[in-house]
Amino acid sequence: MTKYVIKRVIAAILTLWALVTIVFFLTRLMPGEPFTNPKLTPQVIENMTKYYGFDKPLIVQYFQYLGNLIHGDFGFSMKYTNKTVNYIIGQTFPFSADLGIRALCLAISFGLVLGILAARKRGTKIDFFCVIIAIIGTSIPDFIMGALLQYFFGIKWGLLPVALYKGFEYTILPATALAFYTLASVSRIMRASMLEVTSQDYIKTARSKGLSEARITVKHQIRNAIMPVMTILGPTVASVLTGTFVIEAIFAIPGMGKYYVESVNNNDYSMILGMTVFYGIFLVTANLIVDILYGVADPRVRIGKK
């Protein structure tokens, strides 16, 4: 077990290093310069280039960046002068995380419930309803979903706040919009896996032992059926995260996602790098935890053996 964990951690660190290196050189390959104000004179550009150290050889800049990174220093943003990338992440990440966690909870809890219900009541109207939800969720892009939810619930019917993020009622629409896709895929997978489990021998055994249906569902079916759902948790975290890029813009949430998109469009090198590395650390850690959890939870995954 310890060996497995150590191995995973080393892989995670290597992943992060690869990420930093790839992104560092990719940003420098991007067309354009980070100084994009149309009113800059050549003299001003020269001064700014010197100020940010872009006049040094690329490789020197790279090692300098790595050095700063080890100390957790992402440097100053180029667009939002006077603000460090660390400060901006510190300001914006809590919003993204809050939104993401809400969406994940919504997606997983409702997804599981819908999946279980659909499987238990297979072929009935409830099943049909659950399948419809799953279909809608997986076939509408989240930016359309977000705009529609905002338009109908916020603007047209005035039931919920249109935008901003200042309290519980403000979180409902963006969290729902963000959760929908994941919710749908969780419910689909759960339903399929429940149905698959139903035909397994141990369920038949349990039934022949005379256990109640409810007990069978809870004790045997759900427990076993939930494994495949766990495997998609890692990718799910990633998809919720990227979903925040558009949802935050639509609902005017001061989160990190829209800063990321904006920094890419502005060639704000230090922001792109800092935020990518931060996302990377976050996702790699999430994957690592899911991997380890999965190893712990499923006895069939033999840790330490190929």
Partner 1 sequence: MKKRLLALAMVAVLIIGVLASCSTPGSDSGSAGGEKVFRYAVNTEPTTFDPTKGNSIGDNEIQHAITEGLTRNTGGEVTPGIAESWDISEDGTVYTFHLRDAKWSDGQPITAGDFVYSWQRLVDPAVSSPYAWFLDTIAVKNAAAVNAGEKDPDELGIKAIDDKTLEVTLDQPMTVLLSALGMQSNLAPIRKDIVEQYGDEFAATADKNVYSGPFVLTSTENNLYVFEKNPEFWDADNIKLDRVELNYIEKPDTQLAMYENGELDFVRLDNAVVENYKDNDDYGIYLNGNVDYCYINPDSDNPVWANKNFRLALNYALNRVEYNQLANSGLYNPYNALCFPGLSGKDGKTYGETYDVDSYAYPMEGDVAKAKDYLDAAMKELNISDPSEIEIEFVTTDAESNKKIAEVLQEQWQNALGIKVNIRQVTYADIYGEVYPKFDYEIGYAGWGPDFDDPTTYLNLFRSDINWYTPYGNKDFDAKLDAAMKEVDDPDARMDLLNEAEQILIEDGAWVPLQARNQSYLLSPKMKDVTFYSFSINIDWAYADVAE
Partner 2 sequence: MMDLNKDMFVIKGKNVEQMETISRPSLSFWQDAWRRFRKNRAAFIGLCIILTYVLLAIFAPMLSKYGFSTMDAAHQHAAPSAAHWFGTDATGRDQWVRTWMGARVSLSIGLFAATINMCVGAVIGGFCGFYGGKLDMIVMRIVDILYGIPSLIITILVMMVLGKGVAPLIVALCVVGWIGTCRFVRGEVYRLKEQDFVMAAKVLGVSDFAIIIKHIIPNIVGMLVTNLCLAIPGAIFQEAFLSYIGLGIAPPNCSWGILAKEGIAYLRVHPHEVAIPALIICTTMLALNMLGDGLRDAVDPRLRGTE
Q: Which of these ranges, 19-27, 72-80, 85-93, 204-212, lies near partner 2 under the rule CB under 8 A? A: 19-27
Q: What is the CA radius of gyration of the chain?
A: 24
108 binds partner 2 (CB under 8 A): no
Give the 3-state secondary structure of residue 130: helix
- By a kind-dependent CB cut-off of 5 to 8 A, residue 23 interacts, out of partner 2, partner 1, none, with partner 2
Q: Which residues contact 300 (CB under 8 A, 6 or more apart)?
A: none
Taking CB under 8 A as the criterion, the residue among 5, 23, 48, 303 binding partner 2 is 23
> In terms of C-beta distances under 8 Å and separation of at least 24 residues, what long-range contacts does 214-223 make, across chains too?
217/116, 217/120, 221/119, 221/194, 221/197, 222/116, 222/194
Please say which residue, 12 or 226, places its beta carbon nearer to partner 1: 226
How far apart CA 302 and CA 306 sit, in angstroms, is 8
How far apart CA 288 and CA 4 sit, in angstroms, is 11
Taking CB under 8 A as the criterion, the residue among 264, 289, 292, 303 binding partner 2 is 264
CB 23 within 8 A of CB 272: yes
Taking CB under 8 A as the criterion, the residue among 49, 61, 84, 138 binding partner 2 is 138
Q: Which of these ranges, 8-16, 44-52, 198-206, 236-244, lies near partner 1 under the rule CB under 8 A? A: 44-52
26 binds partner 1 (CB under 8 A): no
One character per residue 176-205, x = contact with partner 2 (rule: CB under 8 A):
------------------------------
One character per residue 158-187, x = contact with partner 1 (rule: CB under 8 A):
x---xxxxxxx-xx---x------------
Scanning 52-141, the segments in alpha helix (DSSP H) are: 58-70, 85-120, 125-139
68 binds partner 1 (CB under 8 A): no
272 binds partner 2 (CB under 8 A): yes
How far apart CA 272 and CA 254 sit, in angstroms, is 17
